[in-house]
Amino acid sequence: MSNAKWAGVPLHVILNKAGLQPTATHVVFHGADFGGSDARHFARALSVEQAMRPEIMLATEMNNRPLPHDHGFPVRLIVPGWYGMAHVKWLERIEVIDKPFDGMYQTSHYVNKRATGSDGDMAWQPEPITTIPVKSIVARVERDYHATGNVYQVSGVVWGGDTPIQSVDINIDGEDRWHGAIRESHDHPFAWTRWSYRWMNPRSKVHTLVSRGIDHAGNRQPSKRSSQLRGPYQNDEIILRRVELS
């Protein structure tokens, strides 16, 4: 898992030059790759409103070099803040349509299912995967040998969709309180943010650490998965990290 620097042409520039009809509602992106039992080409769609966001681009470069083949050469779609299936690789054509797109990879693959109705009449409706929910992880726990006393440095990363991160909290061994972590500052709104926490005088035993990200909209990383949502891309719950200190 990593961050990348993308360069290319803003999608809205291309759409404006092409000229959208008043009836246009969705933009479909067709990739050259295919799969599934009937070997359909991969395609995903955005609404016209989503597609006109200024940060969405048709990328031709990655990390100041021509786009590598494995990352979608010669051109791919980049939708910052969204899960990877929206970033269509090996882009062949762009199609503007006047109704919601019902392709396989939009309506039955890469979807969650949300509960609707009452408990006695529950139904599960497919919901396309879009923005990444706020999430954080504890990546490292290291002894700080330059500090006086028994001090450990806990560090990790936090990221989310299109809403800036507000804070990261740390919980140790399921205690009632959460501890505020320090976040690094940067000017990249869709990249992850590194954070750290100085853990003072922990006891010698097996500890359980978790981190919790919170964004500026008030969304916080949940402690468990939602009972109203099924699928691999629902709000990811807090991840436990166990570490033994001697």
Query: pLDDT digit string (tens) for 48-107?
Result: 999 999 999 999 999 999 999 999 999 999 999 999 999 999 999 999 999 999 999 999
Q: Is the pLDDT of residue 174 over 60?
A: yes
Mean pLDDT of 186-208: 92
Quick one: pLDDT at residue 158?
94
- 229 pLDDT band (50/70/90 cuts)? confident
Q: For position 39, what pLDDT does the model report?
A: 67
Confidence class of residue 232 from pLDDT cuts 50, 70 and 90? low
Q: What is the mean pLDDT of residues 37-43?
A: 78
> What is the architecture of the domain spanning 135-244?
Sandwich (2.60)
In the chain, where the domains are located: 6-109, 135-244
pLDDT at 62: 98
Q: Do 6-109 and 135-244 come out as alike in CATH topology?
A: no
Query: Which CATH topology does 6-109 take?
Result: Sulfite Oxidase; Chain A, domain 2 (3.90.420)
Percent of the chain with pLDDT over 90: 64
Q: What is the mean pLDDT of the chain?
A: 90
Note the pLDDT of residue 163: 87
pTM of the model: 0.87
Distance CA 230, CA 167 (A): 27
Higher pLDDT, 40 or 202: 202
